[in-house]
Amino acid sequence: MDAPRYDRPPISLIESDIHPYGISLYVGGMEGASDLDLLKASGISTVVNCAVNLDFNYVSEPLSPAEQPIDYGYGDIRYYKLGLIDGPGNPETMFVAGYYLLRGALDQVLPERHTYPRRERGNVLVNCRGGRSRSVALTALFLHLQLPDRYPRLEDALDRVREKRELRRDEWFETPKPMLVDSIRRAARWVRMIESDRKDTAPLQAAL
């Protein structure tokens, strides 16, 4: 069950000026992710939603007919979705996918076409329902892998996110849920294997 909203701010700045992107990374819950004025005031242009049981509609320029019950079109926010369960039931590889989804949101270079109107690079919010478990886990995994000099151990990154998210010490045992911590620990090993293999095969690929 999500803790009361007054225990934490709607969004929390976790890390500033992340190399090589130069952006800031935030973590928040559903209240923060749904507050468009707050997102814009924080320079957030991209939202990565980790919750399978929560969705947002950021569409501001609908392409759907007026009578269509669901809007689709261009939104004020670039929106990425990773549908995680806050507990058991996630496939083992989902956090690997989540790491590359988050990194891909930062690495993507959108084409100069009218069908890609939101090309600005701004800060990123990672959210789930309460901003205390799924989003904390994915953000810690990203910091550990992206900034290994600063966060050499996964626990270092977890503690950073917990502290900056203002999670109470008495809830750290479940923020994130223990099975999610186990999952990101395995995901970190798998990502290192993938990245090592990519480095080993790069010279061969360049020669083809």
Which is more confidently placed, 130 or 60?
130
104 or 70, higher pLDDT: 104
- Bridge partners of 44, per DSSP, are 123
The residue assigned the tokens 């999952």 is 183
H-state helical runs in the chain: 30-33, 36-41, 94-107, 134-146, 154-164, 178-207
Question: What contacts 36, CB < 8 A, 6 or more positions away?
Answer: 58, 76, 77
Q: Is the pLDDT of residue 208 over 50?
A: no
For the purposes of burial, counting CB atoms within 10 Å of the CB of 48, is it exposed (0-12), middle (13-18) or buried (19 or more)?
Answer: buried
- Which of 112 and 42 is assigned the larger pLDDT? 42
Q: Cβ of 165: how many Cβ atoms within 10 Å?
A: 23
Residue 173 neighbours by CB under 8 Å, 6+ apart: none
Tell me the C-alpha distance between 133 and 116, whole Å.
Answer: 32
For range 86-113, the mean pLDDT: 94
For residue 39, pLDDT beyond 80: yes
Distance between CA atoms of residues 126 and 63, nearest Å: 27
The torsion defined by the Cα of 53, 11, 18 and 58, in degrees rounded to 10, comes to: 50
SS3 126: strand
- Tell me the per-residue pLDDT of 124-179, one tens digit each, with 9 for 90 and over: 999 999 999 999 999 999 999 999 999 999 999 999 999 999 999 999 999 999 99
CA angle 185, 198, 149 (to 5 degrees): 50
Kindly report the CA angle at 125 between 63 and 52, in degrees rounded to 5? 70
Per-domain boundaries in the chain: 8-207
Q: Report which of residues 101 and 121 the model is more confident about.
A: 101
The CATH class, in words, for 8-207 is alpha beta
Confidence (pLDDT) at 203: 53
Structure confidence at residue 126 (pLDDT):
98
pLDDT average, residue stretch 55-67: 87
Q: Is 200 exposed, middle or buried (0-12, 13-18, 19+ CB in 10 A)?
A: exposed
Residues in contact with 102: Cβ distance below 8 Å, sequence separation at least 6, in sequence order: 48, 80, 124, 126, 138, 142
Q: What is the pLDDT of residues 24-37, one digit of tens each?
A: 999 999 999 999 99
Is the pLDDT higher at 178 or at 72? 178
